[in-house]
Amino acid sequence: MKDRLKIGITCYPTLGGSGVVATELGKLLAEQGHQVHFITHSMPFRLGKFDKNIFYHEVEVNDYYVFKYPPYDLSLASKLAQVVQLEELDLLHVHYAIPHAVCALLAKQMVGDRVKVVTTLHGTDITVLAQDESLSDLIRYAINGSDAVTAVSRDLIQETRKLLSIEKPIDLAYNFVDKRVYYPREVTALRKEFAHPDEKILIHISNFRPVKRVTDVVEVFDKICRDVPSRLLFVGEGPELSKVLCKVKERGLLDRVTFCGKQDDVAQLLSLSDVMLLPSEKESFGLVALEAMACGVPSVASNAGGIPELITHGETGFLADIGDVDQMAYYTKMLLTDKALYEKVTQACLHRARFTFCNDVITRQYEEIYYRVLERP
């Protein structure tokens, strides 16, 4: 049997897919007997129940009045170094290059190189931040200095190479879902609260950032509900929310749309939906489409970034060009009205989520990377 490891995990604990993936991975590693230490500014929101192998170390930031910007990055680096020494960690697995990978490298230097650093790139840390000249050299430094780097799709690996001229090998480790949490739930009673039996339900879940093109969701829905009796659920919050609300009102759709706000147990909401809409401008993976897939709900999405690695057009969902709301509406209507097609796509979704992107497969992949960098074959 392989050694049980002591692993420090840093992520953005309160928002986004990267925090979800990091937290879920930590929980699964703890189940495998590894000791997992979350080192973050607040408790990761998906941490859930007590586990004897999971520890949480809060990063406290000094906000002395001379600081215009409280130095979170330095406090994190210092905390990482402290926890590595105190808990004798074998490695730090940091999610999102900025600032986490840089802080981990600093911590590594502080403790005299006795810890390994694994960095996972999630998307916007490259596709948005690496385009910023004030950060690009630092991101390249963080990637080159890490003992291993992983990315959540082939597309993100290519983007990283292209934008930062990186030659170092980058491991592919796709996002995953815990099949014990994401499966088609029995939600007959809950569904009645959102729609009449003859109506279909569309869903969109995101952080409502411009990159998600949430107003396209309204455009698509507007086209669909003219022909197919349907409802739309919006889950999440973010800067574009008021713009989306305005568009919903402008199109006279308010009585057919529910804004659910941020929700923790999305598996239930997904299970009562028929189709997920994900028209993003950029998406390195699209975790939410995988969560939908695992609940048996196909997505109609944009053909952007890593999405085609998750969704095979015509098999496990449908893809259209970014901004092509007519094509997205066409595919959605097809799914909602052709029972045989819907059943075939749903079954393919369940199979793909369970066998290709399942927790066991991806957790094992990360463990192999850890043993490799620690030279413990």
Q: Which residues bind ligand GMT (CB under 6 A)?
A: 16-18, 21, 96, 122-124, 127, 152, 175, 207, 209, 211, 282-287
Nearer to ligand GMT, 35 or 286 (CB): 286
Nearer to ligand GMT, 6 or 122 (CB): 122
Query: Among 113, 180, 121, which residue's Cα sits nearest to residue 156?
Result: 121
104, 300, 328 from 80: Cα distances, Å? 7, 41, 45
Provide CB contacts within 8 A for 366, sequence distance 6+: 25, 29, 93, 118, 150, 173
CB 158 within 8 A of CB 308: no
CB 306 within 8 A of CB 157: no
How far apart are CB 212 and ligand GMT at their closest, in Å? 7
Query: Among 170, 166, 9, which residue's Cα sits nearest to residue 83?
Result: 9
Nearer to ligand GMT, 18 or 53 (CB): 18
Nearer to ligand GMT, 155 or 222 (CB): 155
How far apart are CB 129 and ligand GMT at their closest, in Å? 10
Nearer to ligand GMT, 211 or 362 (CB): 211
Q: Which helix (H) or strand (E) holds 202?
A: strand 200-205
How far apart are CB 102 and ligand GMT at their closest, in Å? 16
Nearer to ligand GMT, 71 or 238 (CB): 238
How far apart are CB 152 and ligand GMT at their closest, in Å? 4
The percent helix, strand, coil of the chain (3-state, each to 5) is 45, 15, 40
Amino acid at 313: H
Query: Among 135, 129, 134, 257, which residue's Cα sits nearest to residue 202?
Result: 257
How far apart are CB 16 and ligand GMT at their closest, in Å? 2
E strands present in 90-147: 91-95, 116-121
- DSSP class of residue 213? -
Nearer to ligand GMT, 117 or 205 (CB): 205
92, 99, 148, 185, 350 from 144: Cα distances, Å? 16, 15, 9, 43, 37
How far apart are CB 72 and ligand GMT at their closest, in Å? 17
How far apart are CB 284 and ligand GMT at their closest, in Å? 4
Nearer to ligand GMT, 81 or 278 (CB): 278
Nearer to ligand GMT, 21 or 336 (CB): 21
Q: Provide φ and ψ at 56, rounded to 5°.
A: -125, 125
Nearer to ligand GMT, 219 or 283 (CB): 283
Give me the torsion for CA of 328, 330, 331, 334, rounded to 10°: 160
What residues are paired with 259 via a beta bridge?
A: 234
Q: Which two tokens stand for residue 213?
A: 């093109």
Q: Which two tokens stand for residue 360?
A: 């066991």
How far apart are CB 226 and ligand GMT at their closest, in Å? 30
Buried b / exposed e over 182-191, threshold 16 CB at 10 Å, is bbbbebeeeb
